[in-house]
Structure 1
Amino acid sequence: MRRRLVTLAAVSAAAVVLAGCGTTEPAADATASPSAAKDISLTDATGTKVTLKGPAKKVVGTEWDVVEHLVSLGVQPVGVADIKGYTAWDASAKLTGSPKDIGTRGEPSMDTVASLSPDLIVANTDLPAAAVKQLRAIAPVLVVDSADAAGQIARMKGNLDLIAEATGTTAKAGELKTAFDAKVAEGKKELADAKLAGRAIAFADGYVASNQVSIRPYTSGSLIGNVNEAIGLKNAWKVQGDKDYGLGTTDVEGLSGLGDVEFAYIGNDSEPTDPFAKDLAKNSVWKNLPFVKQGNVHKLPDGIWMFGGPLSMEAYIDALVAALTK
């Protein structure tokens, strides 16, 4: 997780892919061979046309969001980047079988990927172009958009659809989207019934460097921010987020302008510390913030990936609603 905290700010602007841009092309004529009729042609987030000889079965995922999409669609990947990290941070779509660890998310091992002889490699636009080029020499690579602060839920669904087309699981993708929409409606109703509709919320994560706590606000442009607003809450952050992930930067003094809000965050037992529960516990600014004094700080359970797919976001809604209505 810390690697993402450090590297997100350096990620260059990603090409924005239109949701659901993949297409399945029919055979050119009735005399085409059975194998040609099964060809799948897709256009990915880089504008590259990707052609597959039928639905991909042996798939490698280089980022945790695409791995979650694959697993939720019923496609257990043969190769996954940083399996230990994925297992710690994404409990919503658990790996089964014996996938091969292909290295880090930013630097997958080309030799390891090649040894798996995949039908397809799925990456996102955070992976450097040079690495994507190397992977394309091994197998077809489908690149999905990593983030789009203009519409994260639409992007999430579009990525799911694109990967589903590549793997022949479009029906399952439809089920996942329907279930997600139902969970949003359920969460919105529960909050409204608890008189929490329109309640201000500030979601963040934090990390410690050189004994200083840095805080990362999830603004309205983040996926978490999109979900919070979809279930009827109001985003309390006034800082501006980046144009891709909708993430901002502040410190403990920057929290003083939030006022009366619900403050939520997700930590993880795999991390060396919990900045909010431990490192700020004796900080006078933190202790005197209204939401801290009122007991409105909510640590949500481990294993909810804040940049994941529908299953992670459903888990987030369940956890947040439970925390706010207890």
Structure 2
Amino acid sequence: MNDNRIRFLVIATILGMLLTACGSGGGGGDDNDTAGGAAETRTVTDDFGTQVTVPVAPQRVVTTHFLLTMGTLDLGVAPVGTAVWAPANVTDRYAATLADVPVVASQTAEPELEKIAAQSPDLILATSFNDEQVIGRLREIAPTYVVDVSAGGANATSWSERTSQLADVLGRTAEAGTLASAFEQRKQQLIQTHANQINGTTAAVVTGFRDDNASVFAAESGIGQIVTSLGFTYSPQATVVAAGAQNGIANVSFERITTSVGDAEVLFLGSDLNGGLSPVVTALQQTQLYRDLPAVRANRVGVFKPQVTGYTDANFALDQIEQTLTGMQG
């Protein structure tokens, strides 16, 4: 069993322990505990500026977006209603947990209110992608906390900050601390082991969401922050291309790939959690312009899931980055 596999199993064990642990961690916010036999509550303020009275230890959480589903799972909370999810973007453990959980929201349509109400939630986690009118109706069903994920570029909430935010609402700050400590330790180990491959090396991240378009990530994106925190220099070309782009991602035609990431000495391609590439990325790989990129010609290309929803994705990225750097030693 190789070192990367062992590390992945260690991280999976930590996440599994959190998912099956009983009780809840402490949280911030304004205390508003109730007396008697009623569930204890407290008041928090969501990203819409709304004060929301939530349970101290929520038991029946509904999520209306995949990134919130992954965030809650990472913190050891199994939702009773979830946004649509794909097996390739979750671990086997999470897939088993979600297998019988009703899907109450898609990525392209508003949440199904009747399905959500049928789960008797004591907390709903929504995003700024939801219409304000819909959010108002969600609040009629149960306390609803809204996370702003619409801001792009440098203004976007980072994945780690979002995890801490969810941990506070869910009463899982201790669990978040455990995850953050393990991730930081793993990251420092990688930095120390591969300093020669990282220092002074220019990197870029590219995936594909639209036909015949490469999606170039900014340094300020969630995955860009991980790459630069390791010590990589982020591609100046990619920085210019993605400047001001929504969510820190710029879509460019295949013909512009040379002027978008041609200065990268290491290139990371977007994949799912199994390392599978999308048809758009596969099509990009078939172009001569891609094959002529310096990183490709030097065989310095890695893959990881670039949409970082939480610590599962972040740790997978570290594993894949280390695999790429190990290959560069040869």
TM-score by length of 2: 0.78
User: Structure 1 or 2: larger helix share?
Assistant: 2
Aligned to 1:10: none
Aligned pair partner of 2:147 in 139, 144, 147: 144
Aligned pair partner of 2:119 in 116, 119, 141: 116
CA contact (8 A) 1:124 1:143 kept: yes
Identify if the C-alpha distance between structure 1 residues 22 and 242 changes in structure 2 by more than 3 Å, giving closer, same or farther: farther
* Range 290-299 or range 38-47, more displaced: 290-299
SS in 1 for 2:44: strand
Question: Could you tell me how far 1:290 is from its partner in structure 2?
Answer: 2.1
Question: Could you tell me how far 1:282 is from its partner in structure 2?
Answer: 4.2
TM-score by length of 1: 0.79
* Paired AA for residue 68 in structure 1: M
1:266 aligns with 2:270: yes
Identify if the C-alpha distance between structure 1 residues 272 and 324 changes in structure 2 by more than 3 Å, giving closer, same or farther: closer
* Paired AA for residue 167 in structure 1: L
Matches of 1:121 and 1:283, distance apart in 2: 45
CA contact (8 A) 2:303 2:320 kept: no
* Paired AA for residue 126 in structure 1: F
Matches of 2:184 and 2:130, distance apart in 1: 29
Question: Could you tell me how far 1:149 is from its partner in structure 2?
Answer: 3.2
CA contact (8 A) 2:159 2:308 kept: no
Aligned pair partner of 1:57 in 53, 56, 59: 59
Aligned to 1:90: 90
Matches of 1:315 and 1:64, distance apart in 2: 17
Identify if the C-alpha distance between structure 1 residues 143 and 281 changes in structure 2 by more than 3 Å, giving closer, same or farther: closer
Question: Could you tell me how far 1:197 is from its partner in structure 2?
Answer: 1.7
Matches of 1:166 and 1:282, distance apart in 2: 46
1:73 aligns with 2:97: no
Aligned to 1:14: none
Matches of 1:138 and 1:245, distance apart in 2: 30
Question: Could you tell me how far 1:103 is from its partner in structure 2?
Answer: 3.1
Matches of 1:145 and 1:231, distance apart in 2: 27
1:296 aligns with 2:300: yes
Alignment of 1:96-111 (within 5 A): 96=97, 98-105=100-107, 106-111=109-114
1:322 aligns with 2:330: no
1:8-37 deviations in Å (ceiling 9; x for gaps): xxxxxxxxxxxxx9514155xxxx724579
Size of the alignment, in residue pairs?
A: 291
Matches of 1:228 and 1:82, distance apart in 2: 28
Aligned-residue RMSD, C-alpha: 2.8
Question: Could you tell me how far 1:244 is from its partner in structure 2?
Answer: 5.3
Matches of 1:112 and 1:271, distance apart in 2: 32
1:174-208 deviations in Å (ceiling 9; x for gaps): 1112222222222222330x432231111011145
Aligned pair partner of 1:133 in 127, 131, 136: 136
Matches of 2:93 and 2:148, distance apart in 1: 20
Question: Could you tell me how far 1:283 is from its partner in structure 2?
Answer: 2.5
* Paired AA for residue 135 in structure 1: L
SS in 2 for 1:160: helix
Question: Could you tell me how far 1:61 is from its partner in structure 2?
Answer: 0.8
SS in 2 for 1:202: strand
* Paired AA for residue 55 in structure 1: A
Aligned pair partner of 2:287 in 258, 269, 283: 283
Identify if the C-alpha distance between structure 1 residues 129 and 183 changes in structure 2 by more than 3 Å, giving closer, same or farther: farther
Identify if the C-alpha distance between structure 1 residues 81 and 263 changes in structure 2 by more than 3 Å, giving closer, same or farther: same
* Paired AA for residue 174 in structure 2: A
CA contact (8 A) 1:71 1:93 kept: no
1:23 aligns with 2:51: no
Matches of 2:227 and 2:92, distance apart in 1: 19
Matches of 2:248 and 2:88, distance apart in 1: 24
Q: Any stretches of 5+ residues in structure 1 without a counterpart?
A: 1-20
Matches of 1:166 and 1:322, distance apart in 2: 35
Identify if the C-alpha distance between structure 1 residues 108 and 289 changes in structure 2 by more than 3 Å, giving closer, same or farther: same
Matches of 1:243 and 1:46, distance apart in 2: 23
Aligned to 1:203: 205
Question: Could you tell me how far 1:305 is from its partner in structure 2?
Answer: 6.0
1:27-65 deviations in Å (ceiling 9; x for gaps): 5xxxx7245793211000110111024321100011122
1:44-91 deviations in Å (ceiling 9; x for gaps): 0110111024321100011122111211111100111113x2x32233
